[in-house]
Amino acid sequence: MGTGLAALAPTLLHGLSTVRSAAAFGTVPARRSHPILPIQLDPDPAIIGGLRFAPRWFGDVFPKNLIPFHQCESCEPSNEPDEFVDVAIVGGGLSGLASAYHLREARPVLFDLKPRFGGNAVGESWGGVPYSLGSAYVIVPDRGSRIERLYRDLGVLDDAHVDRQSKVGGLSFEWQHVIGSDPCVAGCNADEALTVERYRRRVQQFAFERFPEIPLPAGNAEWIKALDGSTLEGDIAAHCGTLPPAFRAAVQAYCYSSFGVGWGQLSAAAGWNFLAAEEYGRLVLPGGNATLAARLYERLVDHDVSMRDRLRAGALVESVRLAGDRVLVRWRSADGTRRTLSARHVVMANAKHLVERMIDDLPALDPEKADAVQQVFTSAYVVANVLVRRPVPLPVYDTFLIHDPSFPMDGETFEGDRRVVDLVDGTFGYEPSGRDVLTFYWPLPFASGRFTIVGEEDWQAYAELGAPQLRAALRTIGVAPNEVAEVRLARFGHAMPIAAPNAIASGIAERVRRPIADKIYFVNQDNWLLPAVETCLEEAFTWTDEIRARLG
């Protein structure tokens, strides 16, 4: 996350902390493939634990209750191509939308399996109040960086609000129904107090002196690779000591929420990349990162009239096949019609567990890449959006929910004690009229997690598990159950690529992201096994630059 963050000027976004009204952001377009869609409360909610739940899943769609949802439909002979383009892009999340935006002059065709674009960065709007179903924020970009220029072009820096840490290494967390940031809230002895200070110094070192950039920077990256060889837990123990219990749980909750795994399964390079970058502030749009997806989508739709037909939601890409100097993309439209497109270049902007099923003869084309793709693992996620009938003033943007000393500190324990770990102010930085949205993040940091959310009726099990936890958190911030209009559960089966130790140092990431025959390119957060929007955007810049050069 980030590139050269030490060069960031503190005044980059001066003035963006102004509170705005929801009306300032306009209305959501009616086009059904838009990343943000308006919703109505369910007329027949399920009452579970005294809360009103919409009786269904939102987020990912799993046809026939299958994961992965892409099945082998490429086994039959391919149709003759009936469409010829310069660029086709498979996957309409932030990676695909950004790639299409950079290549818009080539008028690419963009496919997405889901009925609307945005991937994990989709959202909804309740009575004009936009909120995220998935990813919520980005990091304040470097001044003059290409990400900053993109944000300026999209108007992101005009509408965003900045959340900054109050002190180095600070995490806000709830402990026994009180929200605060004191690492010693549960008590510290002299050694633990020293450990906290060492932890803060380590954060400061990585933030302001030697930032572990991912994607790897040109030049000397050996120290980052060496850091990648350790776990975050091991690095903290070696350089800081044993954190006091409450703060230790808060750091673990951060890892669960941000990476989908605990600090014992997490690369130290990835962990410090996130923790250090947050010292520069989080950039939050109304609607979270769904609004970033929406801005990209809207610019594409408005670019020229033909793009409306080239943005194809609800399209199942069955296979991608290298054929001489062209690439054949076999796909089915939303109505089931099977077609074949011929492109000069294809961008695979979808997750690698789908790539390996879609590219014909991948092991023959690039056996090292095929092997590396097998080593990209992901974790699942549930998000609960709580719609409240009045504004709720939260003390901070992001609060980790620890509760007590029984917080699960590893995946095996978590599987038996599934905690909602993170509360985010879904309307941070603007003032909705007469209502609010509270977003609770519920990672599933255990191997079987995704299989617990595949079934269409599995929402009910999670509602029953989540209702008492949500009520406890709502009580902490002064919200009564009768003030909740609805709870909406969203599932994401492969939301988080797992940043395991040595994935970068061993070369897995480089093999995963490299093109095939300078024809098939790969743009996704899992290129670097790092679940960050910045990874999506940086990879889109890198590979679309190369494609443009080849198009001439």
How many Å apart are CA 290 and CA 126, to the nearest integer? Answer: 14
Q: Is the dihedral of CA 469, 472, 473, 479 positive or negative?
A: positive
Q: How far apart are the first and last CA of the chain?
A: 31
Q: What is the pLDDT of residue 62?
A: 79
Residues 400, 253 within the same domain: yes
Residue after which a domain boundary falls, among 458, 479, 497: 497
Q: Is residue 10 a part of any domain in this protein?
A: no
398 exposed, middle or buried (CB, 10 Å; 0-12, 13-18, 19+)?
Answer: buried
How many Å apart are CA 29 and CA 6, to the nearest integer? Answer: 39
3-state secondary structure of 176: coil
Give average pLDDT by consecutive 10-residue segment, the chain, 552 residues. Answer: 37 40 50 92 97 97 64 61 97 98 97 94 95 95 96 95 75 95 93 95 95 92 97 98 96 97 98 94 95 96 86 94 96 91 98 91 96 96 97 94 95 94 94 91 95 95 98 98 98 94 96 97 97 97 98 92
Buried b (16+ CB within 10 A) or exposed e, 14-47: eebeeeeebeebeebbeeebbbbbbbeeeeebbe
Rounded to two decimals, what is the model's pTM?
0.94
Q: Is residue 155 a part of any domain in this protein?
A: no
Q: Is residue 388 a part of any domain in this protein?
A: yes
The H or E element that residue 476 is part of is helix 458-476
Extended strands (E) in 296-377: 311-313, 316-323, 326-332, 338-348
Residues 259, 301 within the same domain: no
344 exposed, middle or buried (CB, 10 Å; 0-12, 13-18, 19+)?
Answer: middle
How many Å apart are CA 349 and CA 317, to the nearest integer? Answer: 12
Q: What is the pLDDT of residue 65?
A: 62
3-state secondary structure of 94: helix
How many Å apart are CA 499 and CA 375, to the nearest integer? Answer: 11
Q: Is residue 127 a part of any domain in this protein?
A: yes
Q: What is the pLDDT of residue 7?
A: 34
Q: Is residue 18 a part of any domain in this protein?
A: no
Q: How many CA atoms lie within 13 A of 279 on its CB side?
A: 23
Residues 512, 365 within the same domain: yes
Residues 229, 272 within the same domain: yes
Task: CATH number of the domain at 523, please.
Answer: 3.50.50.60
Residues 184, 271 within the same domain: yes
Q: Is residue 16 a part of any domain in this protein?
A: no
C-alpha angle 107-108-109 in degrees, rounded to nearest 5: 125
How many Å apart are CA 179 and CA 246, to the nearest integer? Answer: 12
Q: How many CA atoms lie within 13 A of 190 on its CB side?
A: 0
The residues, ordered by sequence, that sit 6+ positions from 139 with a Cβ below 8 Å of its Cβ are 1, 2, 5, 277, 278, 280, 281, 282, 283, 534
Residues 512, 522 within the same domain: yes
Residues 534, 445 within the same domain: no
Give me the domain span that covers residue 244: 161-285+378-497
Residues 370, 394 within the same domain: no
Number of domains in the chain: 2
Residues 459, 411 within the same domain: yes
Task: CATH number of the domain at 435, please.
Answer: 3.90.660.50
How many Å apart are CA 285 and CA 30, to the nearest integer? Answer: 20
Residues 236, 319 within the same domain: no
Residues 240, 339 within the same domain: no
Q: What is the pLDDT of residue 537?
A: 98
Q: Is residue 12 a part of any domain in this protein?
A: no
Q: Is residue 217 a part of any domain in this protein?
A: yes
Cβ contact 277:136 at 8 Å: no
Cis preceding-peptide flag for 108 (omega within 30 of 0): no
Residues 319, 197 within the same domain: no
How many Å apart are CA 439 and CA 490, to the nearest integer? Answer: 11
Residue the block writes with tokens 């899992």: 526
